[in-house]
Amino acid sequence: MTTAPGNRHPSQDANGLFARFIAATEIDTRLLGMIGALVLIWLGFQFYGEIVKGDGFFLTPRNLWNLSVQMCSIGVMATGMVLVIVTRNIDLSVGSMLGFIGMLMGLLQVEWLPPHLGLGHPAIWIITVIVGLCLGALMGTLNGLLIAFLEIPSFIVTLGGLMFWRGGAFLLANGRTISPVDSTFALIGGGPYGAIGSTGSWVIGLVACAAVIFGLVAGRANRRKHDFPQRPVWAEVVLAVLGCGLIIGAVLVVDAYPWPKGIVAKYIADNGLTVDPATLFIAHGFAYPVLILTTVAILMTILMTKTRFGRYVFAIGGNPEAAALSGINVKWMTVKIFALMGTLAGLSAVISSARLTSATNALGQTDELYVIAAAVIGGTSLAGGVGTIYGAVLGALVMESLRTGMVLIGFDTAIQSMVVGGVLVVAVYLDIVYRKRIK
Amino acid sequence: MDKGTPLVEMRDISIAFGGIKAVDHVTVDLYPGEVVGLLGHNGAGKSTLIKCLSGAYRADSGQILINGQPVEIANPRDAREHNIETIYQTLALADNLTAAQNLFLGRELVNARGFLDESAMEAETRKIMGRLNPNFRKFNVPVSALSGGQRQSVAIARAVYFNAKILIMDEPTAALGPHETQMVAELIQELKTQGLGIFLIEHDIHSVMKLCDRASVMKNGQLVGTVKVDEVTDEDILGMIILGKKPAKAA
Ligand SMILES: Nc1ncnc2c1ncn2[C@@H]1O[C@H](COP(=O)(O)OP(=O)(O)OP(=O)(O)O)[C@@H](O)[C@H]1O
Ligand SMILES: [Mg+2]
């Protein structure tokens, strides 16, 4: 605000109003930018469908539900990539780690465990998931040790990992596709049975709304206690309405997507009901992987903003030397961060192989690029020190929207990869422009 | 002239980087309530010497004694445990964090559940900054948005906040205006009367004459000598710095 209040141009007033709204609600302008981009992409695909194909396929409950499931694998890994990039490192090996872990879990549950435990034994999926997560942690720890203690640049270590684990995945099963995975395990990937249904979704939605309101009230009370400046009440109300509105909107969307007729008929037969399958509407509700991603995102946000660990991650990114002089063990932090990244790659391996109900050689291929793109589009600075978890999750949604949208309108993979590559470069450029402007 | 056991004794410290002897068999000491100036030309080895005390470097040889007891200072954490606080020449701030986050870096306040207590940290930072730099208002921005002097006052606040017994100040007023420099001078006097021992690295000879009790001069990594400031003139000290000669009367 450099102009005096008396001689303002009307357009400046409008500008001022928006600026005041942003200042009062403390909404991150970059978050608004990302939501803007997302809306553009969604509307773009929708109109393309309506005009060219005569059918707006994008903004349908069915597509949005699928989108929510498909973004989970990338989204989970993107939350970890934020920590890696914030500390001025990179992990190019996540896609291959995912592939290797997915293949090993496939063999474990399809070929190695059933002869001992019996097919469909309830312990199979549990053992498989635990092994997958632990293997991811180990692989990540190996990355971290090489980077921190042998001081090999992370770019090289994980580029090596990208090739090594992809080759390893092939060797594990000699290129075979392993399927079908354990039926309980498959639920983790979503699908009609891998979702919590209408009632569950409403319960979760209302609990989330309550949490949003509680968070705003508690934050306000805390600021008052310490005599810190408060947001105006109207801004708090706007935030509460926006937050709850988004949550309830999501519940309405996932509850508007019914089970396919075939599954409904089978469900009726299995439960000995006497309803007409054509009239029975069973909603999907939130899919399990979406709940997993949400949980991961919440835990990672707490880790990054409320714990010493998260503070040290940012400090290392801002100034590694200052962090070390403050008594932070930068090397062990690096190992822990890569171990966490590996664990999340393990979790993503669970989600994506469960979704495919098989482990293939291509599992996770080029995922590293989507994950890095998601983190960067979400505002994680490659210069280090800056990044948010919610940004990375939104970034994953943007990337996945592009991918599914292009598949739906029939772009072939060559064009898809050109678009994704272009988007990545443009996103980093916009990030640079944005950072220069706020300085 | 016996003042009892020194608070800090650095005995025969040497450290080399590659072939360069940055610090070459240097011995300095510091008593409670005393300010010892460390002087010397650029690259003389002053910062390197005190970094052995603050835990940033490990000396190749030599011994560090605190209150007469030999101690191992292997990392900055060890130094902090001996109540040694340091203001580094480079300030050592994480640019992307706020003043409060920098002040408590490595020693965050946490609440009962083990989560960071941001508001308590900010409140404490407001208190100490109110004392050191009452004009400071920028509590909610990263320190990259601060001026050089404001950054310096954050670094000073961090060293002073945690009740140091031994304070190392490496050119603490390099970026400060005259008023702020005066405030740091007063702060040093005040801390001195509280019984802290302070190593002060400073190029301005008048500040040294005014603030320090003794001055140790280094040249090319070696100690030229240590003099009592009120027994020598500023020319004597300049002679030590430039020519590396100890004044005759203090020998
Ligand atoms: N990390 C390092 N690696 C290699 N050489 C170093 C390192 N740190 C210091 N040196 C060298 O050691 C010598 C002493 O440096 P030091 O920083 O201690 O000087 P100083 O007395 O503090 O100088 P100034 O007044 O400029 O701050 C210099 O020759 C410097 O180049
Ligand atoms: Mg120096």
pTM recorded for the entire structure: 0.91
- Which CATH number goes with the domain that contains A85? 1.10.3470
Q: Judge whether B92 lies within some domain.
A: yes
CATH number at residue B189: 3.40.50.300
Kindly tell me if the per-residue pLDDT of A239 is higher than 50: yes
- Chain A, nearest residue to B106 by Cα: A326
How much is the pLDDT for A7?
41
pLDDT category at A438 given cuts 50, 70, 90 is low
**Interface predicted TM-score of the whole assembly (ipTM), two decimals:** 0.90
Residue B54 is assigned to a structural domain of this protein: yes
Q: Return residues 70-129 of A near B (CB < 8 Å).
A: none
The answer to whether B101 contacts A311, with C-beta atoms less than 8 Å apart, is: yes
Q: What is the pLDDT of residue A10?
A: 43
Within chain B, which residues score under 70 in pLDDT? Answer: 1-3, 248-251
In a domain, A349, yes or no: yes
Domain contains B128: yes
Please name which of A260, A239, A248, A255 lies closest in space to residue A196, comparing C-alpha atoms. Answer: A255
From A31-35, A431-435, B247-251, the region with the lowest mean pLDDT: B247-251
A122 in any annotated domain:
yes
Residue B82 is part of which domain span?
8-250
Distance A359 CA to ligand 1 centre (A): 56
Among B90, B96, B115, whose Cβ lies nearest the Cβ of A386?
B96
Is A219 inside any structural domain? no
pLDDT at A52: 85
Does A308 touch chain B if contact means CB atoms closer than 8 Å?
yes
Give residue A25's identity as a one-letter amino acid code: T
Ligand 1 pocket list (CB less than 6 A): B 17, 20, 22, 40, 42-48, 89
Interface membership of B124 toward A (CB under 8 Å): no
Asked if residue A304 has pLDDT above 90, the reply is: yes
Distance from the alpha carbon of residue B40 to the mean position of ligand 2, in angstroms: 9
Mean pLDDT taken over chain A: 90
Domain contains B3: no
Of B88, B105, B119, the CB nearest to A315: B105
Q: What's residue B3's pLDDT?
A: 65
Distance B89 CA to ligand 2 centre (A): 6
- Choose the closest CB to B94 out of A223, A225, A323: A323
B121 in any annotated domain: yes
The rounded Å distance from CA B41 to ligand 2 centre is 9
Q: Is the Cβ pair A306, B119 closer than 8 Å?
A: no
**Is the residue at A171 inside a domain?**
yes
Higher-pLDDT residue of A439, B153 = B153
| Residue B2 included in any domain | no
Our count of domains for chain A comes to 1
How many domains does the structure of chain B reveal?
A: 1
The reported pLDDT for the residue numbered B67 is 93
For chain B, the DSSP string reads ----S-SEEEEEEEEEETTEEEEEEEEEEE-TT-EEEEEESTTSSHHHHHHHHHTSS--SEEEEEETTEEE---SHHHHHHTTEEEE-TT----TTSBHHHHHTTTS--B-TTS-B-HHHHHHHHHHHHHHH-TT----SSBGGGS-HHHHHHHHHHHHHHT--SEEEEESTTTT--HHHHHHHHHHHHHHHHTT-EEEEE---HHHHHHH-SEEEEEETTEEEEEEEGGGS-HHHHHHHHHH----GGG-
- B95 at interface of A, judged by CB pairs closer than 8 A: yes
- Structural domain including A100 reads 57-195+287-399
